[in-house]
């Protein structure tokens, strides 16, 4: 099992299945609005990979966090940030639930983890990796000689953002933010009323749910710096290792740049699923390697939909044994850095029902392998059409075919029979 790793910049080997549980932590969204389709990528990559590892005999625990307290939420719903966060959390769970993968073991929320976060901060203060000032607590970057190992950013070239006189060093980042008058949610702490900074939550929640060191930490490429760099610094500041492998997925682009709410080039998961269906959406993501950027467009979605139909079509024709070693090749393509484009290409060559069904199930696409029964009234129309055909009354038979099609079904004539399939 090999996987590209951001930290080492190379492809690394996973431990063998019996070596214990694989802990996986994938960064989830900040919940303040309906999530867009780009937000779905880490969820899908994490879920698919966990699913594959489980099929390969690994024991896996997959954690996907929800950031439900943050500046964005305060801004989006002044005075009702808790309400908004709860609603947007439900939206998100609903949206990703529609993918039908169900591999995530826990969706921890920051607001339910305040105590472990405070404990974490307290320990960093004790070890002098942090300092409290005016109700804020900051991480002291100068105490981390390795700072920058993950992103390749050199500490001295990290530019100063908004000048903040409370910081000892402009590179320092907030672990705890003192409550502001316009913010309607805060928690008591030894440093005053406030709430956690963005980065500390993941360090604390990962440790709480996966232990101090775990296998794989995932998320979008865009959060390598500063988010993951900071997490790594915080966690290592406590004297133990953190994630061993960092799995960063490529960005989803739309209209030439990264899809993001701040740019405004957004399509929600909900809308895309409504328009194209889950199978097409899953196949769309599968056509690109998880590490590569992927362009969202109607053309590519249409192509993914055609692919879904093509695979479904494979089950309407007789099964033919796949060449010797087919499953082995499929397995190897996924074992080797989880190359879904390669695995998909192999599947397209198969006419072997059992093998195909098994492969589709790896990606949550077993629905493509289901037979559908036509309703009785459509069956009746088809039966009458067949009679007309036998009687060579083609005017009547074509008329009946139009009726069948209007009902959403397609007739395919065979030697002495016919077959009904749902219209694409």
Partner RNA sequence: GGCGACGUGGCCGAGUGGUUAGGCAGAGGCCUGCAAAGCCUCGUACAGCGGUUCGAAUCCGCUCGUCGCCUCCA
Q: Which of 20, 78, 134, 310 binds RNA (CB under 7 A)?
A: 310
Measured CA to CA, the distance from residue 321 to residue 350 in angstroms comes to 8
Q: CB of 34: closest distance to RNA in angstroms?
A: 12
Among 143, 236, 289, 357, binds RNA (CB under 7 A): 289
Site residues for RNA, 385-404, by CB under 7 A, read 389, 394, 397-398, 401
Closer CB to RNA, residue 39 or residue 326? 39
Radius of gyration of the chain (CA): 26
Q: Which residues contact 365 (CB under 8 A, 6 or more apart)?
A: 279, 282, 283, 308, 311
CA angle 140, 141, 143 (to 5 degrees): 75
In the complex, minimum distance from the CB of residue 214 to RNA, in angstroms, rounded to a whole number: 17
CB of 142 to RNA, least distance (A): 16
Tokens of 239: 């004297």
- Closer by beta carbon to RNA, 59 or else 372: 372
- Taking the least distance from each CB to RNA, the nearer of 203 and 249 is 249
With respect to RNA, which residue has the nearer C-beta, 116 or 226? 226
Query: Residues, the chain, total?
Result: 424
Task: Give the footprint of RNA on residues 52-81 (CB under 7 A).
Answer: 67, 70-72
Q: Between 17 and 253, whose beta carbon lies closer to RNA?
A: 253
Count CB-CB contacts under 10 A for residue 18: 8
| CB-CB contact of 133 with 169 (8 Å) | no
- Comparing C-alpha atoms, which of 404, 403, 421 is closest to residue 412? 421
Encoded one letter per residue, x for contact with RNA by CB under 7 A and - for no contact, window 79-98 reads --------------------
Phi, psi dihedral angles at 190 (to 5 degrees): -65, -20
Q: Return the residues of window 326-355 that contact RNA according to CB under 7 A.
A: 339, 341-342, 345, 348-349, 351
What track of x and - describes contact with RNA for positions 153 through 192 (by CB under 7 A)? xx--xxx-x-------------------------------
Minimum CB separation of residue 19 from RNA in Å reads 27
Candidates 163, 165, 317, 370; binder of RNA (CB under 7 A) is: 317
Stretch of 39-47, 187-195, 324-332, 360-368 contacting RNA, by CB under 7 A: 39-47
Task: Confirm or reject binding of residue 151 to RNA (CB under 7 A).
Answer: yes
Nearer to RNA, 17 or 270 (CB): 270
By CB under 7 A, which span of 35-43, 81-89, 101-109, 365-373 interacts with RNA? 35-43
Write the interaction track for RNA spanning residues 187-206; mark x where CB under 7 A is met and - where it is not.
-----------x--------
Chain positions 206 to 265 lying near RNA, rule: CB under 7 A, are: 219-227, 249-253, 256-262
């Amino acid at each position: 099992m090999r996987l590209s790793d951001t930290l080492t910049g190379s492809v690394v080997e996973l431990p063998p299945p019996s070596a214990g549980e694989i802990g996986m932590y994938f960064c989830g969204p900040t919940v303040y609005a309906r999530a867009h389709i780009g937000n779905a990528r880490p969820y899908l990559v994490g879920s698919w990979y966990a699913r594959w590892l489980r099929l390969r005999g690994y024991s896996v625990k997959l954690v996907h966090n929800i950031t439900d307290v943050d500046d964005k939420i305060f801004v989006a719903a002044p005075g009702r940030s808790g309400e908004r966060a709860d609603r947007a959390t439900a939206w998100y769970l609903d949206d990703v639930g529609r993918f039908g993968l169900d591999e995530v073991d826990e969706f921890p929320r920051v607001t339910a983890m305040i105590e472990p976060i405070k404990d974490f901060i307290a320990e960093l203060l004790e070890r002098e990796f942090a300092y409290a000032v005016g109700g804020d607590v900051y991480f002291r970057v100068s105490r981390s000689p390795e700072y920058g190992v993950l992103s390749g950013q050199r500490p001295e070239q990290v530019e100063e953002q908004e000048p903040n006189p409370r910081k000892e060093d402009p590179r320092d980042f907030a672990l705890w933010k003192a409550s502001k008058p316009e913010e309607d949610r805060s928690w008591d702490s030894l440093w005053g009323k406030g709430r956690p900074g963005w980065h500390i939550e993941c360090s604390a929640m990962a440790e709480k749910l996966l232990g101090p060191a775990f296998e794989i930490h995932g998320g979008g490429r865009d959060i390598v710096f500063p988010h993951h760099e900071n997490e790594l610094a915080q966690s290592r500041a406590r004297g133990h290792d953190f994630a061993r492998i960092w799995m960063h997925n490529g960005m989803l682009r739309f209209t030439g740049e990264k899809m993001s709410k701040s740019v405004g080039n957004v399509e929600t998961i909900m809308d895309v699923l409504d328009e194209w269906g889950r199978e097409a959406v899953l196949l769309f993501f599968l056509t690109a390697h998880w590490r590569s950027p992927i362009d969202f467009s109607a053309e590519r979605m249409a192509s993914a939909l055609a692919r879904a139909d093509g695979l479904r079509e494979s089950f309407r024709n007789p099964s033919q044994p796949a060449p010797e070693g087919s499953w082995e090749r499929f397995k190897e393509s996924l074992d080797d850095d989880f190359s879904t484009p390669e695995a998909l290409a192999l599947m397209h060559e198969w006419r072997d029902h059992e093998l195909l069904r098994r492969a589709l199930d790896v990606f949550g696409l077993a629905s493509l392998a289901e037979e559908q029964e036509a309703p009785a009234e459509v069956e009746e129309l088809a039966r009458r059409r067949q009679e007309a055909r036998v009687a060579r009354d083609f005017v009547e038979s074509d008329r009946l075919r139009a009726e069948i099609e209007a009902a959403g079904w397609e007739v395919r004539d065979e030697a002495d029979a016919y077959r009904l399939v749902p219209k694409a």
